[in-house]
Amino acid sequence: MLGLPLTFAVPLVLTALAALPAIWLLLRITPPQPKRVDFPPLKILADLRPEQETPARTPWWLLLMRLLLAAFLILAASGPIWNPLAEDNSRTPLLLVVDNGLAAAHDWRDRLNLASERIEAAGRDGRTVAVLGTAEASAALELTSPAAALERLRSLKPQPHLQDRGAHLESIRRLLDSTPDTHIVWISDGVVGVDGQGFIDGLAQMTDDQRVTVLKSERASTLALAGIENAGGRLNVRVVRAEPNGRDSGTLRAVDLKNLPLADMRFSFDGNATETSVAFDLPTEIRNSIARIEILGESSAGAVNLIDERGKRRRVGLVFGGTADQTQPLLSPLYYIERALSPYSEIRMGRGGVADAVNQLIEEQVSILVLADVGGLDRETLGKVTAFVEQGGLLLRFAGSRLAAGNDELVPVRLRRGGRSLGGSLSWDTPKTFAPFTRESPFFGLDVPEEIGIRRQILAEPDGDLPSRTWASLVDGTPIVTADKRGDGLVVLFHVTADATWSNLPLSGLFVDMLRRITALAGTTSDVNAEARAAEIETIAPRLTLDGYGVFTTPPANARAIPRSYAERATGEHPPGFYGPVDSSLALNALLPGDKLVPLDVAPLNARIAPLAGAQTIDLRMPLFMLALILLLADTLASLWLGGHLSNLTGRLRKAGAAAAILLASMMLFTSGFDAKAQELGSRRIDENANPALVTRLAYVITGDAGVDEASRAGLAGLTQILSQRTALTPGDPIGIDPSRDEVAFYPLIYWPIVATRPIPPESAIRKLDAFMKGGGTVIFDTRDAFNNRPDGAVSAEGQYLRRMLATLDIPELEPVPNDHVLTKTFYILDAFPGRYATGQTWVQALPPQTEGEENRPARSGDSVSPIIITSNDLAAAWAVGPRGEYLFPVVGSDPRQRELAYRSGINIVMYSLTGNYKADQVHVPALLERLGQ
């Protein structure tokens, strides 16, 4: 039209433009609303009549705006189109074939726009349209209205696999049979699919030469990754393209499972080459954690290569012969092994007893089995472990008291019973350190730190082949790490424990390095046959698949499981992605290693070939309507303004704004005030807390019952006095704390009288208490009910309260204080712990059972201080003194020395909580025995 690339869908509407002058006239004589003005002098002017009553005219700009508005509306209604698609004006049906395989993903948006342009053009010409996505499953084609075809087109997405165009030949044939004059437009990606040239040959037979238009870029621009090879400590990645297309270089990125980038590498094609290779040269640990490699910015499933777990990190199973105490992880040998190995390998913990754990771990296909302080294995388990080792597994054992007591044959050398202690109190020796590693040892090259000291070890029988099996030895030549080959596997033995009881080796960096070297020796192909057998029958379901853009999604509904031995390209049914459980995934890629992209030859079709660029058709209706709408809004505002309503509105807005500002300011003021208050509070709290950190002091829990709290305070004050007089400890003034609010970490000992009428402390207080007890603090719970309790009577209210309170706590096993408990020896030698009453029982954490050889020790202790002491004797009441030193409460009992004994109990408890099991040490044995008169 007029030489412009502009057409109108409904040109008749344009005649309405002739009505514009009429609109102009109409608008011109309609004045705006008069404004109201308050004006006091009116009274004296009553006789002054207006001279000129002509209404003010509508301002010219408002007039122009309204005329423009009308013009825009008329123009928009006439449906103008800029750059209409120059199409042969045939009215024949249209078949749109869209390639949506992996080669089409990176410029999918352009292809989609091009396709919608075609369909819209067909819609304007009133043609019916069928849409075929070549990577979809083949289905019957149906000519539909352009709107429905557009819907169908929008539902097409690039698929993450190579398309099989040949599968659609049959449906195209059927369509052409029913409507022979169908025009075919093929938006092609220019890359040969699974079927090779078959589609083109088939299509050429079906169509006359003039009915096909192929839209393709001159050169297929796809880049893809085909195959990854892990060789020579490097990861080689193959980048392929269909033909030289000018995209000669780019960046590959390696990403781990959590999508964190690990490494970037540049790649470039030489000249006309269609494939190139990039090597990732990375440390093993990083290389092992690569889960996918992608071409940056390509966003296509073909440009992503997934790497599965096969042969990457070693899986290590840990088994401990003893029972590990979960609350004290530092005492478990597995803790040190796990900390040393977890950065480099995958750790599996054995559950249950030794036999169960070993079975479970072998079934989980660990490649290294660690037995820490496991003595003999039972026959069945032994058989399994032996088979595991002979099939290439690595068995790593650590010594310990159980192994010292007796061992099975799965050790590299013959061991002597019992151990050898170096540097004990009855020995002249000092702890031994390592000799430098020999050249034959796998540890060769590691530096031995000076401070390594072995205090105890298991000795090997001096056999002839002992030197050849020794990987590390002490400076005196005794082997400390030995190893032996069994079948395809290895048995390695550390002659020390994996925890810090026999040596400080597990605390050193050397331990980590040694374990890493041992891990590297573990075979990768454990139980190959079994796996292959399993793979034939086992099918694994898709877990995480790639969509056409190379982004991980949940598997689509049509994704099917694959057998574990599947080694084909991804297809529509088996989209690329990870299959199977997280720890034994199979990666399925869009292209196989060795695949090539081949350019498509469309010459046989003898078709019209057009470039991929679209005609840039713009439908001007939307912008025109938008303009009209904006003008309408502006007109409304202008009318309001001319009528004087806008000023009211702005006044109101201003008021509202002022109110909002005031509100905001006051809120800020309030919050800043609040902050200041909080800061004040915080500083006060810090001051309060600074004191307890500087001075050791006893603490009691404020129960809220004033009498009990005062008794607690006075009692601890009395005990503090006695402590200062008799012991080296001079505690500060006792302090009352609220465990839900105050920090308790500063106090070694907390006295908690139970008042049954008070509410149970909140959960936060209980959790804090738990942390306090786990962290080495001691809490004395005093139910103060020994007087009313009979031995077989019902549990008192205080007792029930205590039980409820402790129900959610991780309380260790308790026992009445045994006679040889270190608590009875810490300062005074005591039999009982009386308070105001003497009849109550005192409970502490149960000690571990006596070990042999320790029967005659007068004092026994566990590894730590008992976190909890429960008594019912009302200790604080017995200790309580008034301001003049008078006792506040009488003691109930026949023994005149009961108060003295109560003080002694208090001193012992404080000493126990401060010094721990120090009195249980051997050094004190003679003095204690003498005192006890034995």
Partner 1 sequence: MTRVRVLPESARSPGRQETESALSLAHRMPRLVLEARRVAANLAHGIHGRRRSGVGESFWQFRPFVAGEAAQRIDWRRSGRDDRLYVREREWETAQTLWVWIDRSASMAYSSELAQAPKIERAVVLGLAMASSFVEAGERVGMLGLMAPRATRRIAETMAQTLVTDRTSLEEDLPPGAPIAPQHEAILIGDFLTPVRDIAATVEGISARGARGHLVMIVDPVEEIFPFQGQAVLHDLEDGISLRIGDAESWGRAYRERIEMHRAELQELTRRRGWTFTIHRTDRPASEAALRLLTLVAAARGASVGGR
Which residues are at the interface with partner 1 (CB under 8 A)? 31-46, 48, 50-56, 644, 647
Measured from the CB of residue 67, what is the shortest distance to partner 1 in angstroms?
22
Q: Which class for 279: exposed (0-12), middle (13-18), buried (19 or more C-beta within 10 A)?
A: middle
Nearer to partner 1 by C-beta: 51 or 450? 51
Q: Going by C-beta distance under 8 Å and a sequence separation of 6 or more, which residues neighbour residue 38?
A: none
Nearer to partner 1 by C-beta: 50 or 885? 50
The torsion defined by the Cα of 50, 55, 57 and 62, in degrees rounded to 10, comes to 120
Give the SS3 label for residue 102: helix
Q: Are the beta carbons of 344 and 516 closer than 8 angstroms? A: yes
Nearer to partner 1 by C-beta: 18 or 46? 46
Give the SS3 label for residue 800: helix
Q: Going by C-beta distance under 8 Å and a sequence separation of 6 or more, which residues neighbour residue 327?
A: 774, 810, 812
Nearer to partner 1 by C-beta: 26 or 42? 42
Question: Phi, psi at residue 671, to the nearest 5°?
Answer: -65, -40
Measured from the CB of residue 23, what is the shortest distance to partner 1 in angstroms?
22
Tokens 């309507």 label which residue? 625
Q: Are the beta carbons of 301 and 576 closer than 8 angstroms? A: yes
Neighbouring CB atoms inside 10 A of 495's CB total 31
Measured from the CB of residue 41, what is the shortest distance to partner 1 in angstroms?
5
Measured from the CB of residue 643, what is the shortest distance to partner 1 in angstroms?
10
Name the token pair of 453.
């000291």
CA angle 10, 14, 18 (to 5 degrees): 160
Question: Letter for the amino acid at 50?
Answer: P
Name the token pair of 679.
């800061």
Nearer to partner 1 by C-beta: 525 or 650? 650
CA distance 913 to 624: 85
Tokens 């771990």 label which residue? 361
Residue 365 backbone zone (phi > 0: left; psi -120 to 50: alpha; other: beta)? left
Q: Are the beta carbons of 334 and 323 closer than 8 angstroms? A: no
CA 814, 819, 822, 823 dihedral sign is positive
CA distance 69 to 624: 9
Measured from the CB of residue 656, what is the shortest distance to partner 1 in angstroms?
18
* Paired sense of beta strands 368-372 and 394-398, if any: parallel
Q: Tell me the CA distances in angstroms from 450 to 435, 437, 507, 542, one per residue in order.
A: 11, 14, 13, 53
Measured from the CB of residue 638, what is the shortest distance to partner 1 in angstroms?
14
Name the token pair of 494.
């550390």
- CA proximity to 214, closest of 95, 299, 84, 388: 95
Nearer to partner 1 by C-beta: 36 or 109? 36
Q: Going by C-beta distance under 8 Å and a sequence separation of 6 or more, which residues neighbour residue 626?
A: none
Measured from the CB of residue 652, what is the shortest distance to partner 1 in angstroms?
13
Nearer to partner 1 by C-beta: 36 or 790? 36
Measured from the CB of residue 646, what is the shortest distance to partner 1 in angstroms?
10
Nearer to partner 1 by C-beta: 453 or 643? 643
* Paired sense of beta strands 94-98 and 183-187, if any: parallel
CA distance 686 to 197: 80
Measured from the CB of residue 44, what is the shortest distance to partner 1 in angstroms?
6
CA distance 51 to 46: 14
Nearer to partner 1 by C-beta: 36 or 884? 36
Measured from the CB of residue 28, what is the shortest distance to partner 1 in angstroms?
15
Measured from the CB of residue 644, what is the shortest distance to partner 1 in angstroms?
7
Q: Are the beta carbons of 642 and 32 closer than 8 angstroms? A: yes
Measured from the CB of residue 765, what is the shortest distance to partner 1 in angstroms?
56
Nearer to partner 1 by C-beta: 49 or 790? 49
Nearer to partner 1 by C-beta: 50 or 883? 50
Measured from the CB of residue 48, what is the shortest distance to partner 1 in angstroms?
6
- CA proximity to 300, closest of 108, 117, 434, 163: 108
Q: What is the DSSP letter of 18?
A: G
Nearer to partner 1 by C-beta: 31 or 882? 31
Measured from the CB of residue 634, what is the shortest distance to partner 1 in angstroms?
19
Nearer to partner 1 by C-beta: 644 or 812? 644
Nearer to partner 1 by C-beta: 57 or 621? 57
